[in-house]
């Protein structure tokens, strides 16, 4: 019995000590930091603590410039690496690493002159050879953003230390803009860290393993710690050639979670500065109520599509598709979203360069829907042809629209099955025409702000076996029109072709266009200067998380 008493006493003591110690340690309880007085105080102010910008993301994140291409990867890449040109809020580009450039008369040769004295994180200088290396590496590896350049760029060569030349296979109206996705890596560092043997012959693994957790860039931030499944911690690189926001954070940490509960706790303890954009509306409302936290909402050139399989019964019938488009309650769908969200006007987001303002737009009209349905070949056998809608379980809110769709279709007698599918399964099934479901609901962002690039990724036959297209249009005429528009160098001509493309697509009615997504992030407005919240939005995926332009003065 005495042993028992001693044991229990020890346990209680240990627990008490633990409690006391953790209350004493600053990390467990949030203590408000007193704001330093503006006037001069007799005692010198304490040295400024390091500021840190923490943002949550949906994972995984790949910081290899030839591999990463989704939202979190793009956000990381723009902080770690520099590009030849930098995007503006108007959708154009300004010189960045490249000071100036010329094109040949036939548009097939582009020559860029680089700024001198740009240093990589390890101190060596950025040369034209590094630019050529980065392009060639991306083309050879073929992942990430490579698809933007494959088929267009034939070669990249360094003419001298500060001049790099690209030869194109065909003229391209978007080549210049697409260079915002060519992240320049240090050839020396990458090649010094290749692992042999590897799939790239004498280049071994081309540095892919090293670049999983390290960076070879020149951007405003460099990798400090990267435990792969948890977070990416970057620290400020003072030798960056660009201009920092006066209060740019000393560290930037991208955290791998989108759990509303976790984000709520972190935000209220001021341990998170900006949330991810996948929080459900209910969670955002609750976050907005926290003191010092606001919700930044801005258009993001992302559209929510119901991609309809045009080669599978019953959605292969154009009248059937039109019936669905007339029956859907777009207003109700928009009402479920953040206030200010607008129904989509056609296949391209309204704010995207090249959007056709006069494109035809559907609205809910049950009479027209029934009319169209009556003309379809499946009109008398509706019960034998259920339509399957796959929504992506990684974004739980998508279920709402799927169920709304189901209820709307029931109004005209169409039977709908709703199936939650994880993202990886969606990627897998949309790769094959047989396994693609009738409808898959996906948010698609433009990789850069041109209607043409979005239309290519959405409706071109090359893109048919990818997740960005479930329609399987396989329309040769459309392909030719898209390719032609992208090769048109004159902007006015190009946009006119885009308009024609959008009309053509609306005639085919291959998708339902729900709404242009407003990107929403909860952020600590009390001490974070978030340019996107002020309306300075860069219409390029990931660029609004460019930490060099975000100011952090707290908590």
Partner 1 sequence: MRFITFIARRVVHSIFVLLGLSIVIFIISRIMPGNPARMAVGPRAPQYVIDELSRQMHLDEPLHVQYYYWLRDALHGDLGMSLVTRRPVADDMKEFFPATLELTLFAGFIMAGGGIFIGILSARHKDKWIDNLLRIVSYLGVVTPSFIFAIFFLLLFGMALNWMPTMGRLSPGVSPPPTITGLITVDSLLSGNLTAFFDALWHLILPGIALAMGGLAQESRITRSTMSDNLTKDYIASARSLGIPEGVIMRKFLLKPSLIPTISILGLDFAGTMANAFLVEVIFNWPGSSRYGINTMLRKDLNAIAGVVLTMGVVFIVVNIVVDIVVGLLDPRIRLAPQRGE
Partner 2 sequence: MTVQAKSLALPKSKIMENLGRSWYKFSRNPMSIVGLCTVLLVVFLAVFAPLVAPYPRHAGKFVDFANASLPPCRRYLFGTDVMGRDILSRIFFGFRFSLTMGVVVLSLVVPPGVTLGLVAGYNQGTWIETVIMRITDIFLAVPPLVLALAICSVLTPNLFNAMIAVSLMWWPWYTRLVYGLASTLRNEFFVNSAEVLGASKFHIIFKEILPNCISPIFTKMSLDMAWVILLGASLSFVGLGVQPPKPGLGTMVAGGRNYLPEQWWIAVFPALAIVVVVLGFNLLGDGLRDMLAAEEV
* Footprint on this chain of partner 2 (rule: CB under 8 A): 259-261, 264, 280, 282-283, 286, 332, 335-336, 393, 396, 399-400, 403-404, 406-407, 410, 416, 418-420, 422
Which does residue 8 bind out of partner 1, partner 2, none, counting CB within 5 to 8 angstroms by kind? partner 1
Residue 537: alpha-carbon gap to chain centroid: 14
Angle among Cα 471, 452, 507 to the nearest 5 degrees reads 45
Which does residue 21 bind out of partner 1, partner 2, none, counting CB within 5 to 8 angstroms by kind? partner 1
Tell me which residue has tokens 């009109």: 379
Nearer to partner 1, 103 or 466 (CB): 466
In the complex, minimum distance from the CB of residue 404 to partner 2, in angstroms, rounded to a whole number: 6
CA dist 511 and 196 (Å) reads 47
Partners of 515 in the β-ladder: 304, 343
In the complex, minimum distance from the CB of residue 476 to partner 2, in angstroms, rounded to a whole number: 35
Question: Which stretches does DSSP call E strand in 414-526?
Answer: 416-421, 439-445, 511-524
Which does residue 403 bind out of partner 2, partner 1, none, counting CB within 5 to 8 angstroms by kind? partner 2
CA dist 66 and 317 (Å) reads 40
Answer yes or no whether residue 141 interacts with partner 1 by CB under 8 A: yes
Instruction: For residue 243, give the DSSP letter.
Output: -
Q: Which of 31, 41, 43, 424 binds partner 1 (CB under 8 A)?
A: 424
- In this structure, the dihedral spanned by the alpha carbons of residues 297, 299, 302 and 308, taken in order and rounded to 10 degrees, is 90
Residue 270: alpha-carbon gap to chain centroid: 25
Nearer to partner 1, 132 or 266 (CB): 266
Tell me which residue has tokens 């050639």: 241
Tell me which residue has tokens 């740019």: 248
Nearer to partner 2, 13 or 335 (CB): 335
Answer yes or no whether residue 425 interacts with partner 1 by CB under 8 A: yes
**Which two tokens mark 123?**
């101190």
Which does residue 60 bind out of partner 2, partner 1, none, counting CB within 5 to 8 angstroms by kind? partner 1
Angle among Cα 502, 503, 509 to the nearest 5 degrees reads 90
Instruction: For residue 141, give the DSSP letter.
Output: H
In the complex, minimum distance from the CB of residue 430 to partner 1, in angstroms, rounded to a whole number: 9
Site for partner 1 in 210-229 (CB under 8 A): 212, 227-229
Instruction: For residue 252, give the DSSP letter.
Output: E
Can you spell out the DSSP letters for 294-343?
EEEEEEEEEEEEEEE-TTSTTTTSHHHHHHHHHHS-HHHHHHTS-TT-EE
- Rama region for 354: left / alpha / beta (φ>0; ψ in -120 to 50; rest): left
**Which two tokens mark 540?**
């390029």
In the complex, minimum distance from the CB of residue 405 to partner 1, in angstroms, rounded to a whole number: 24
Answer yes or no whether residue 7 interacts with partner 1 by CB under 8 A: yes
**Which two tokens mark 37?**
């007085």
Site for partner 1 in 284-313 (CB under 8 A): none
Which does residue 271 bind out of partner 2, partner 1, none, counting CB within 5 to 8 angstroms by kind? partner 1
Nearer to partner 2, 15 or 335 (CB): 335
- Please, are residues 207 and 238 in contact by the beta-carbon 8 Å criterion? no
CA dist 342 and 345 (Å) reads 9
Instruction: For residue 35, give the DSSP letter.
Output: P
Cis, bond preceding 197 (omega within 30 deg of 0): yes
- Please, are residues 331 and 515 in contact by the beta-carbon 8 Å criterion? no
Which does residue 3 bind out of partner 2, partner 1, none, counting CB within 5 to 8 angstroms by kind? partner 1
In the complex, minimum distance from the CB of residue 527 to partner 2, in angstroms, rounded to a whole number: 25
- Please, are residues 397 and 281 in contact by the beta-carbon 8 Å criterion? yes
Nearer to partner 2, 13 or 431 (CB): 431
Nearer to partner 1, 89 or 213 (CB): 213
Nearer to partner 2, 268 or 461 (CB): 268
Give the x/- contact pattern for partner 1 in 428-467, rule: CB under 8 A. x--x-------------------------------x--xx
Which does residue 62 bind out of partner 1, partner 2, none, counting CB within 5 to 8 angstroms by kind? partner 1
Nearer to partner 2, 16 or 419 (CB): 419
Strands 251-256, 52-57: pairing kind: parallel
Nearer to partner 1, 92 or 199 (CB): 199
Helix axes 451-459, 476-487, angle to 10 degrees: 150
- Please, are residues 350 and 334 in contact by the beta-carbon 8 Å criterion? no
Nearer to partner 2, 285 or 507 (CB): 285
Tell me which residue has tokens 């000393």: 250
In the complex, minimum distance from the CB of residue 430 to partner 2, in angstroms, rounded to a whole number: 16
**Measured between alpha carbons, how far is residue 130 from residues 44, 168, 218, 220 in Å?**
47, 19, 11, 18
Answer yes or no whether residue 530 interacts with partner 1 by CB under 8 A: no
Nearer to partner 2, 366 or 395 (CB): 395
Nearer to partner 2, 394 or 462 (CB): 394
Report how many residues bind partner 1 under the rule CB under 8 A. 53
Site for partner 1 in 35-94 (CB under 8 A): 54, 60, 62, 67, 69
Nearer to partner 1, 197 or 246 (CB): 197
Which does residue 280 bind out of partner 2, partner 1, none, counting CB within 5 to 8 angstroms by kind? partner 2
Query: Shortest CA distance to 216 belongs to which of 131, 148, 97, 141?
Result: 131
CA dist 112 and 290 (Å) reads 49
In the complex, minimum distance from the CB of residue 317 to partner 2, in angstroms, rounded to a whole number: 23
Site for partner 1 in 251-280 (CB under 8 A): 257, 259, 261-262, 264-266, 268, 271
Site for partner 1 in 193-212 (CB under 8 A): 199, 208-209, 212
Contacting positions for partner 1 (CB under 8 A): 1-4, 7-8, 11, 18, 21-22, 25-28, 54, 60, 62, 67, 69, 141-144, 146-147, 150, 199, 208-209, 212, 227-230, 257, 259, 261-262, 264-266, 268, 271, 422, 424-425, 427-428, 431, 463, 466-468
């Amino acid at each position: 019995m005495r042993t028992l008493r001693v044991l229990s006493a020890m346990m209680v003591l240990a627990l008490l000590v633990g409690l006391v110690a953790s209350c004493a340690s600053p990390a467990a309880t949030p203590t408000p930091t007193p704001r330093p007085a503006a006037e001069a105080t007799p005692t010198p102010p304490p040295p400024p603590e390091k500021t840190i910008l923490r943002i949550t993301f949906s994972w995984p994140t790949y910081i290899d410039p030839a591999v990463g291409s989704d939202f979190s990867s793009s956000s990381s890449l723009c902080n770690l690496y520099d590009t030849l040109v930098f995007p503006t809020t108007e959708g154009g580009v300004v010189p960045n690493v490249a000071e100036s450039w010329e094109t040949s008369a036939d548009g097939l040769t582009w020559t860029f002159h680089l700024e001198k004295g740009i240093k990589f994180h390890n101190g060596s200088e950025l040369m034209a050879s590094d630019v050529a290396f980065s392009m060639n590496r991306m083309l050879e590896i073929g992942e990430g953003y490579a698809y933007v350049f494959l088929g267009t760029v034939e070669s990249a060569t360094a003419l001298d230390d500060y001049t790099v030349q690209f030869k194109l296979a065909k003229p391209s109206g978007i080549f210049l803009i697409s260079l915002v996705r060519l992240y320049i890596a240090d050839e020396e560092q990458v090649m010094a860290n290749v692992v042999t043997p590897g799939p790239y012959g004498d280049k071994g693994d081309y540095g892919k393993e090293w670049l999983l957790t390290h960076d070879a860039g020149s951007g405003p931030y460099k990798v400090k710690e990267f435990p792969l499944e948890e977070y990416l911690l970057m620290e400020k690189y003072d030798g960056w050639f660009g201009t920092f926001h006066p209060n740019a954070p000393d560290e930037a940490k991208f955290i791998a979670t989108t759990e509303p509960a976790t984000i709520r706790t972190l935000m209220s303890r001021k341990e998170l500065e900006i949330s991810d954009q996948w929080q459900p509306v209910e969670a955002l409302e609750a976050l907005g109520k926290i003191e010092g936290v606001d919700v930044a909402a801005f258009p993001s050139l992302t559209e929510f599509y119901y991609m309809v399989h045009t080669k599978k019964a019953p959605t292969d019938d154009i009248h059937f598709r039109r019936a669905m488009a007339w029956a859907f309650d777009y207003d109700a769908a928009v009402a479920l979203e953040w206030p200010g969200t607008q129904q989509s006007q056609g296949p391209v987001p309204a704010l995207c360069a090249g959007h056709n303002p006069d494109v035809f737009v559907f609205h809910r009209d049950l009479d027209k829907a029934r009319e169209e349905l009556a003309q379809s070949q499946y009109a008398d056998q509706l019960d034998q042809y259920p339509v399957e809608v796959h929504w992506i379980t990684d974004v739980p809110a998508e279920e709402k629209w799927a169920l709304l769709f189901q209820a709307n279709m029931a109004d005209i007698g169409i039977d709908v099955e709703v199936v939650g599918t994880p993202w990886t399964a969606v990627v897998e099934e949309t790769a094959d025409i047989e396994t693609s479901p009738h409808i898959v609901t996906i948010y698609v962002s433009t990789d850069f702000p041109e209607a043409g690039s979005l239309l290519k990724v959405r409706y071109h036959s090359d893109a048919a076996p990818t997740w960005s297209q479930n329609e399987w249009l396989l329309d040769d005429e459309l392909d030719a029109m898209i390719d032609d528009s992208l090769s048109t160098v004159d902007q006015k001509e190009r946009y006119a072709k885009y308009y024609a493309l959008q009309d053509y697509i609306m005639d085919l009615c291959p998708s339902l266009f729900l709404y242009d997504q407003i990107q929403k992030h909860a952020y600590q407005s009390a001490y974070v200067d978030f340019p996107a919240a002020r309306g300075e939005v860069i219409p390029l995926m990931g660029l609004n998380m460019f930490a060099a332009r975000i100011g952090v003065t707290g908590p």
